[in-house]
A and B are shown apart, each in its own frame.
Chain A
Amino acid sequence: MKAFKSIFLIRIINGLQYRAVAIGEVLMRFFWGLMEILAYAALFRMGSENFSMTLTQTVSYVWMQQILFVLFRGVVGDAEIYSTIAEGSIAYELVRPVSLYGRWFSQSAANRIVPTLLGSLPLLAIVPFMPGDYRMVFPASAGQILLFLVSCVLALGVVVAFAMLMNISLFYLTTHRGIRMIVSVTTHFFSGGMIPLSFFPDSVRRVVVLLPFASMRDVPLQIWCGTLSGADACRGMLLQIFWLGVLVVTGYAWMEQALKRVVVQGG
């Protein structure tokens, strides 16, 4: 456990070196969110009664989605992991007395947490003070915020466990560009990154909320904006725990399998 913690800390210190990049990231997220909100505001003016969320809820959803964008991203700069496999330095990793799954898992998680802390959390200081309709509203109760935080941690776990499956698949494939693109877009769309899952047609939504992708972003964000509360929220989080378990166990077993047949060529 201590080893994983230090891997984590090294990442954070590394990330802190690039402050100018972080400022650019904050600006981009801000304007991106603003444009989306302007579009939703226009759509809601055309007829808000058909939407299953209010404009205020949607605005809060969009801001939080921008803030946690990198945290819940299916594919993010895990480039070191890819090159470890492609270039063969995996041999060194295997010699180390740390479980490879655990090591990559914490590396992947850190790759998402660090940019979020640096590049997105500053937004949290701006968006609650936006004028009028564009303001992000905080949840009404402290309990809801607590649920949101727990659900965020679970969502991150599911995202990383899923990304691990993709990493492991690279043992069997030569290039990762196509796979990464497909994984990236599927996770983005079905987790509510493009539009909230509540805006999907009912028949589609009923299936989509059960998929692991919904556990990656939709559940915490819905808890945040208040469309998921009480028993529904608990059910959502149980589903998150279920998927986290399934994905971690699958990934772990698959990795053992893959490592058995890894052939490292000399050099």
Chain B
Amino acid sequence: MRLCMDFISVNLKSQMQYKMSFLLTVAGQFITAFTAWFGLIFVLQKVEAIDGFTKGQVSICYAVIMLSFSIGELIGAGFAVFARILGDGEFDRILCRPGGILLQVLAPHMDFVRIGLLLQAVLVLALVIPGCGISWTAGKAALLFLMVLSGSAVFFSLFLLNASFSFFTVESLQFLDIFTYGARDFGRYPFSIYGEKVLKFLTCVIPLALVQYYPLLYLTDRETNGFYALCPVLALLFLVPCVAFFYYGVRKYKSTGS
């Protein structure tokens, strides 16, 4: 644990060395997130409600997914460059050291500029929470927190899954981006609007609907069954096969020799 902290603080310090560049990139992230939100509210202005959710509630969807994505990507940035880590022999060095493999892949690569995205999502949440027509209780606030937590875990797992494929293919599989960057973009609407098939897929295969759509039904009192509030916990299970797949890849790993 202390090792982990050391890794992170060294990394943070090194990123802060180039202040201007760091700030510009954070600003870039911040603006990116804002255009996504404006795109959403411009379209929402044309309709009264969508699938029974008010505009504020749809914005909560957006913010939860954005927050989850940015946390998942901040922590999992090492996976984005994983193909390179395998290619240039860094992974061989990692395997030689006594220490967790995942920790060594992740800690040096954490990408703190994602804070820009995170800040924006928090800002949107603060803006829409008062007027979204949800009667807040302590339990519901906790549920919102849980949604973000589990959502981050799901996005983290998706990045991990993406990276694990690099063990087996030479080229990075761009197609898988649709489950990470795509899910971020499509998650701005409640997943139910994409129709039953997509919703089923996002419930059973990639459990993103479990952290967004179902708990939102509970938040808005459309479902009072406590099971809906526990969905995010269920989504955490997604981590298990992804981590297992990663270690399967590690076992099959042959060095590139560089």
- Asked if A and B are interacting partners, one says yes
Q: Is A261 an interface residue (CB 8 A)?
A: no
B44 to chain A, nearest CB (A): 8
A179 to B32, CA, bound (A): 12
- Chain B positions within 8 Å of A, measured between CB atoms, are 18, 21, 23-29, 31-32, 35-36, 38-39, 42-43, 45-51, 171, 173-175, 177-178, 182, 186, 189, 193-195, 198
Q: Are A18 and B21 in contact (CB under 8 A)?
A: no
B116 to chain A, nearest CB (A): 9
A46 to B44, CA, bound (A): 10
Residue B174 contacts which of A28, A50, A181 (CB distance < 8 angstroms)? A28
Q: Are A43 and B24 in contact (CB under 8 A)?
A: no
Known A46-B49, A47-B47: A35·B186 in contact at CB below 8 Å: yes
A102-135 interface with B by 8 A CB criterion: none
Question: Which residue on B lies nearest to A179, using beta carbons?
Answer: B24
Chain B interface SS verdict (over half): helix
Of A20, A185, A204, most buried by chain B (CB within 10 Å of CB) is: A185
A180 to B25, CA, bound (A): 9
Q: What are some 20 contacts across the A-B interface (CB < 8 A)? A: A20-B171, A21-B174, A27-B175, A28-B178, A32-B178, A35-B186, A38-B195, A38-B198, A43-B46, A46-B50, A47-B46, A47-B47, A50-B46, A174-B21, A178-B21, A178-B23, A181-B28, A189-B38, A195-B42, A195-B43
Which A residues are CB-close (under 8 A) to B198? Answer: 35, 38
- Chain A positions within 8 Å of B, measured between CB atoms, are 18, 20-21, 24-25, 27-28, 31-32, 35, 38-39, 42-43, 46-47, 50-51, 174-175, 177-182, 185-186, 188-189, 194-195, 199-201, 204
Which B residues are CB-close (under 8 A) to A43? Answer: 43, 46-47, 50, 193
The 6 closest A-B pairs by CB, nearest first: A178-B24, A181-B28, A42-B193, A189-B35, A194-B39, A178-B25
